[in-house]
Amino acid sequence: MAASDGSEYFDVDIESGHGTFSRRSNTEEVQRDETELLWAAIERLPSGKEKKTALMRHQISGSNRSERTETIDVTKLDRRNRSLIVKKALDTSEQDNYKLLAAIKERFDRVGLEVPKVEVRFEKLNIEADVLIGSRALPTLLNCARDVIEQFLTSLGIFRPKRHNLSILKDISGSIKPGRMTLLLGPPGSGKSTLLLALAGKLDTSLKKSGKITYNGHELNEFCVQRTSAYISQTDSHIAELTVRETLDFGARCEGEGFAGNLMRELTRLEKEYKIRPSPEIDAFMKASSVAGKRHSISTDYILKVLGLDVCSETVVGNDMLRGISGGQRKRVTTGKSSMGDVEPMK
């Protein structure tokens, strides 16, 4: 028999003839109903406001209800809520980034939305440089003065200095497939950095380049390489007086919305069409990641967590003259700042 409050009932096992008491709580059903109502309310919002609104579940202490779901504006998050969204999105005690990326990919697969992939090809690539040899190449005061004079005379067309032609890369071809990690090996001075700079579109203009580099079949002058690739320099160049968090926040503001905003709009439209409810944690994280132009970005909290920089987030980066974070941490800051773009699912 059911109790008057509906929370207990008496269950009789017909086969054994024994009575058992069970306690059934309808808290989970109430929470699901409330969450469904909140999703329905979000779907009725204008498209501009819908992409800024997400759900967040909070733990409630001292109450029979373990969680409380509420709507949040992802453009007005404080540091606590940003950290909470990242923590809930990673969703494991180990804070495993693999599971987060797998969950994002699963969300795209459920609606049949394919994430754009980029394949890089280079064919018969040659890179040469005109260099000075012997004692003339030494950085002495006399040689520096001669270089300035020669550059001035060369610009006037009066004089053309004699230089030695050095071949850095000669007739190389290859491709970088999407979804794979490519390891580039070679002895010092073999041209590894030059090849990466050429593929990233950051090759020095004084070098002579011939051959063909394409991104999905488009050449560099037809494709915005900076939106799809990042070259991490061997030199860690940062503003020494900024903290790690401020450095990454600055990098996030420079990135802008990117394609994540358009992708989120298309993803939301397809989920609404197929009547699919995403995970509140993943939805809140992706919507907050697509917000651009804010002083503080959730991408910063994500990068800090993934790269293990949260322990030194409020420490200045520093340099040779100003004591700051360690050399390994500074290299990770360089990596994080160079890759502050959109958080993409696994390809």
157 domain-assigned? yes
72 domain-assigned? no
Q: b/e map of 114-153 (b: 16 or more CB within 10 Å)?
A: ebeeeebbbeebebeeeebeeebeeeeeeeeeeeeeeeee
**Residues 159, 98 share a domain:** no
303 domain-assigned? yes
**Residues 212, 137 share a domain:** yes
Residue span of the structural domain in which 241 resides: 77-118+232-347
pLDDT (tens digit, 9 = 90+) per residue, 277-316?
999 999 999 988 888 778 888 889 999 998 999 999 999 9
Backbone angles phi, psi at 129, to 5 degrees: -140, 145
Give long-range contacts, CB 8 A cutoff, 24+ apart: 43-50. 43/272, 47/265, 50/268
176 domain-assigned? yes
**Residues 279, 202 share a domain:** no
Residue by residue, DSSP assigns 143-179 as: HHHHHHHHHHHHHHTS-----EEEEEEEEEEEEE-TT
Residue by residue, DSSP assigns 4-46 as: TTSSEEEEE-TTT--EEEEE---HHHHHHHHHHHHHHHHHTS-
Q: Round the CA-based radius of gyration of the chain to a whole number and report it.
A: 28
Res 173: pLDDT: 94
321 domain-assigned? yes
Q: How far apart are CA 217 and CA 98, in angstroms?
A: 30
Q: How far apart are CA 122 and CA 200, in angstroms?
A: 12
Tokens of 190: 């073999």
**Residues 322, 215 share a domain:** no
Other beta carbons within 10 angstroms of residue 334's beta carbon come to: 19
pTM: 0.76
Residue 61 DSSP label:
T
**Residues 239, 330 share a domain:** yes
Q: What is the dihedral of CA 272, 276, 277, 283, to 10 degrees?
A: -70
At residue 290, what is the residue type? Answer: S
**Residues 179, 254 share a domain:** no
**Residues 331, 289 share a domain:** yes
**Residues 138, 109 share a domain:** no
Instruction: Provide the domain count of the chain.
Output: 2
Res 133: pLDDT: 82
Using the 3D structure, point to which of 227, 257, 277 is the last residue of a domain. Answer: 227
187 domain-assigned? yes
**Residues 213, 84 share a domain:** no
Using the 3D structure, point to which of 198, 227, 256 is the last residue of a domain. Answer: 227
**Residues 198, 222 share a domain:** yes
37 domain-assigned? no
Q: How far apart are CA 37 and CA 20, in angstroms?
A: 35
Low-confidence spans in the chain with pLDDT less than 70: 1-26, 60-66, 92-95, 256-261, 340-347
Other beta carbons within 10 angstroms of residue 248's beta carbon come to: 26
**Residues 303, 172 share a domain:** no
Widest pairwise Cα distance in the chain? 111
**Residues 246, 215 share a domain:** no
CA distances, 213 to each of 203, 225, 321 (Å): 12, 11, 41
240 domain-assigned? yes
Using the 3D structure, point to which of 183, 199, 227 is the last residue of a domain. Answer: 227
Helix (H) or strand (E) holding 277: none
